Amino acid sequence: MRVVMGVGVLNQTPFDWARNEQNIVDAIDEARRRGVTVLCLPELCVTGYGCEDMFHSAGVQREAWASLERIAKYTNNMIVTLGLPVELRGGIYNCAALLVDGEIEGLVAKRFLAGDGIHYEPRWFKPWPEGEVAELTRGGRRVPMGDLSFDVGGLIFGFEICEDAWVAHRPGAQLSLQGIDVIVNPSASHFAFGKQDVRRRLVLEGSRAFGVTYLYSNLLGNESGRAIFDGGGMIASAGAMLAETPRLSFGRFHVATSTIDIDYARLQRSRTASFRPDAGGDDGLREIAFTYPDVEPTRWAPITPTDFSKEEAFTRAVSLALFDYLRKSWSQGYVVSLSGGADSAACVCLVRAMVEIAIDQLGVDGTLARLSHIKALEGATDADQITGALLTTAYQATRNSGPVTRHAAKAVAEGVGAKHYEMDIDSLVEGYTSLIEKALARDLTWETDDITLQNIQARVRSPSIWMIANTENKILISTSNRSEAAVGYATMDGDTSGGISAIAGIDKAFLRQWLRWMEKEGVPSAVPALSAVNEQQPTAELRPQEESQTDEGDLMPYPILDAIERVAIRDKKMPREAYRMMRVEYPDIAPAQLKLWVEKFYKLWCRNQWKRERYAASFHLDDKNLDPKTWCRFPILSGGYRKELAALRASDE
């Protein structure tokens, strides 16, 4: 017995009913065109995964079911699984629906809910109890629901829904005892560096250990603002990877297919001496009549999936996030206050990469079609024209700005094709300074008012760049990075101003490494103009030029800052533990200096939680995220590690 199976990845949007449904139907049609009989589509793809508290809405429940009924009509001669929320007796469940030959044949409810990291499923859904089965009545028809498996025309299907496969006692182990042939896994698994390798291991090991064909689908793109879904749907059978969809694609959907030799997969299971099927264990198994089409033999052809370097993954993930954010917010483009430094240059290069990757994947016409709401793009024929329409930058100088950063800002703007302005804001800074000096009846000086005089320059830049964004109906990108967020090295209502924070999820040390990579290699192309940025030491350029201000001089070397952040925040180490770890990691630095830097980090971290609470929405990239709304909770007011820091100072280590 041979069956053509497929997995689909979809770029969905919370309760965007018409577009979500169209993507699903188009994926089904594409699968049918390619001869697929069994198709797995993602978790909660009917509604979108990121509906948040709207999952509690009765209207969302009703519309989701109505959409499912319409989608079912497109599944003639096919078996399709896909996800939606379902209400039963006052509880809401994260379910996978089984559609067979145009009918809704059953609902499998998720047993293990994702409640860590960026996931808050237990806030909205109830976990389904193991072994329980119920019936749902909709439109006069009874649909079985719960912990179910299905015998569809002699092929037995079981389910693991996303988190189900990540737990120690995953349902697949129990399903294998029932002689399951296929495990389908509709997932919504967010992007993080290196995460696809973990998913592949789960899928491959599941297919091998359980003796099954494993279908894994996933969402794609920036679905609801912060999380990026990277696709990467997979088909594996008997421990071999057979197919994988593209990752971090700008497409609406993708389908990967493979012809599965069911008899071979069963043979592999039966010849495994440790396999002990439960011969009488058919509780929860539902039989559904279905006839599979004849399929010609094909060559068994395992694949070796390729992956991206961290630099390329960062580029593709954030570019995709920006592309979808632009589309789904119906904005006209992006604006960046381009200082000539690393952070703002990175934001500009990511917008340019967004344009180039879109053209590389969709073509110019396809890119313009996806951004058809942007009138300024009409008639554009290449990446330069598209970037010029989408991206506006401005260099805003004060008396403390130098020719190096002015030149770098202009070079980068021209290098990526942005529309660029140069403005002198020194008179505005002087106006505010004079106003406050009169109110206080004293002069403001660098000796007594250092932070005040630095901050006013950053804040004065905010109204003008916002005005540009408003006049062009574009999104202002905030340019602060994660390292600065950790210690509050940013001016609220200054460089933190913006509607989206493109690089707040990444550390400064990696960002500088990435900029050097973008200068020489890049994706899809390099940006040689970045040499003007990469030659500099990072500086806020807010103090007088003669002071030669640098970021690392104000703080500490960025690699050390990032290392302390990793152990203090991600790993929750106390100051003395962090100091000991830094001694091992940086043995050539004087212990007294390391001790000062560790203390400085913890003090600044505690003092600046209120700033992190106010940052614009950022994209999740790894488990060192500091976003307090989705990952890293910390009190705004706390004891500030006073006892622990006193112990560090008193130690003679």
398 within 8 A of 423, measured Cβ to Cβ: no
Residue with tokens 């593209």: 246
pLDDT per position as a tens digit, 353-391: 999 999 999 999 999 999 999 999 999 999 999 999 999
Mean residue pLDDT across the chain: 94
Can you tell me the mean pLDDT for 263-287? 75
Give yes or no for a cis peptide into 524 (omega within 30° of 0): yes
pLDDT per position as a tens digit, 544-588: 877 778 878 889 999 999 999 999 999 999 999 999 999 999 999
Q: What Cα–Cα distance (Å) separates residue 362 from each residue in 20, 224, 318, 541?
A: 20, 22, 17, 40
pLDDT per position as a tens digit, 165-218: 999 999 998 898 888 999 999 999 999 999 999 999 999 999 999 999 999 999
pLDDT per position as a tens digit, 108-133: 999 999 998 899 999 999 999 999 99
Instruction: Give the pLDDT confidence score for residue 268 in this predicted structure.
Output: 80
Instruction: Give the pLDDT confidence score for residue 294 in this predicted structure.
Output: 93
pLDDT per position as a tens digit, 65-81: 999 999 999 999 999 99
Q: Which two tokens stand for residue 283?
A: 């509780």
Instruction: Give the pLDDT confidence score for residue 551 in this predicted structure.
Output: 77
The Cα–Cα gap between 646 and 629 comes to 31
186 within 8 A of 217, measured Cβ to Cβ: yes
Output Rg (C-alpha) for the chain, integer angstroms. Answer: 28
* All domains of the chain in start order, with CATH: 2-288 (3.60.110.10), 310-554 (3.40.50.620), 556-653 (1.10.10)
Around 515, how many Cα atoms within 13 Å sit in the side-chain half-sphere?
A: 27
| Greater pLDDT, 257 or 276 | 257
Around 216, how many Cα atoms within 13 Å sit in the side-chain half-sphere?
A: 33
Instruction: Give the pLDDT confidence score for residue 273 in this predicted structure.
Output: 60
Coil, strand, or helix at residue 345? helix
pLDDT at 492 over 90: yes
DSSP 478-504: E---HHHHHHT-S-TTTTT-SSEETTT
pTM given for the model: 0.94
What is the torsional sign of CA 512, 514, 518, 520?
positive
61 within 8 A of 87, measured Cβ to Cβ: yes
Can you tell me the mean pLDDT for 294-312? 89
Residue with tokens 């703080």: 555
Mean pLDDT lowest for which of 97-106, 239-248, 262-271, 373-382? Answer: 262-271
pLDDT per position as a tens digit, 320-362: 999 999 999 999 999 999 999 999 999 999 999 999 999 999 9
